[in-house]
């Protein structure tokens, strides 16, 4: 077995969701979950099929994000995994809908941060062992940090 690290190439001003699912129907059901969660959402979805033709299956509403999803999923090459790049929404707007898609097994990451994926590769194929989401902590939040966090959430409309 070989352990690899794959850096996700993020399109500018996008967020990414990385997960595992179990059936080719994932592509259509994740598409429906996304468009039903946020009207006008811009996203690209790629699903790595792990049987039959073993193709990267694509859907989405934005060609640039679909292309980025396809390229990253081909680079990852892990069966039954999926990646979604999105704009005009945040992961928080779609995560509950995605978790309720019957084929979705796991969400590994939902972030706008730099993302690395730890992969195990065998003769049979590859699988996701885990993710590295963002950077190391630089310290502990103080009162000024608490104030900044609360102000930011209110500016984004998530708190009153």
Q: Is residue 147 part of a domain?
A: yes
pLDDT at 4: 97
Parent domain of 36: 2-155
Q: Output 150 or 160, whichever has higher pLDDT.
A: 150
pLDDT at 156: 85
Number of compact structural domains in the chain: 1
Q: Is residue 94 part of a domain?
A: yes
CATH of residue 50's domain is: 3.40.1520.10
Over residues 74-93, the pLDDT tens digits come to: 999 998 999 999 998 999 99
pLDDT at 146: 94
pLDDT at 39: 94
Q: Is residue 11 part of a domain?
A: yes
pLDDT at 114: 96
Average pLDDT score over residue span 109-129: 96
Q: Is residue 160 part of a domain?
A: no
Over residues 124-154, the pLDDT tens digits come to: 999 999 999 999 999 999 999 999 999 999 9
pLDDT at 51: 87
DSSP code string of the chain: -EEEEEE--PPTT-EEEEEEE-STTHHHHHHHHHHHHSTT-EEEEEEE--STT-PEEEEES-HHHHHHHHHHHHHH--TTEEEEEEESS-HHHHHHHHHTSTTEEEEEEEESS-EEEEEEE-SS-EEEEEEEES----S---HHHHHHHHHHHHHTTS--
Over residues 27-73, the pLDDT tens digits come to: 999 999 999 999 999 999 999 998 889 899 999 999 999 999 999 99
């Amino acid at each position: 077995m070989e352990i690899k690290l794959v850096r996700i190439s993020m399109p500018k001003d996008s967020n990414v969701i990385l997960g595992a699912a179990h059936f080719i129907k994932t592509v259509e059901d994740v598409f429906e979950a996304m468009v039903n969660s946020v009207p006008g959402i811009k996203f690209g979805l790629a699903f790595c099929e792990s049987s039959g033709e073993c193709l990267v299956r694509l859907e989405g509403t934005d060609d640039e994000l679909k292309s980025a999803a396809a390229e990253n999923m081909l680079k990852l090459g892990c069966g039954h995994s999926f990646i979604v790049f999105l704009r005009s929404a945040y992961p928080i707007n779609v995560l509950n809908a995605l978790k309720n898609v019957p084929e979705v097994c796991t969400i590994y990451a939902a972030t706008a941060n730099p993302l690395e994926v730890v992969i195990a590769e065998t003769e049979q194929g590859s699988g996701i062992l885990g993710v590295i989401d963002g950077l190391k902590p630089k310290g502990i939040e103080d009162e000024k940090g608490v104030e900044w966090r609360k102000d930011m959430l209110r500016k984004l409309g998530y708190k009153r």
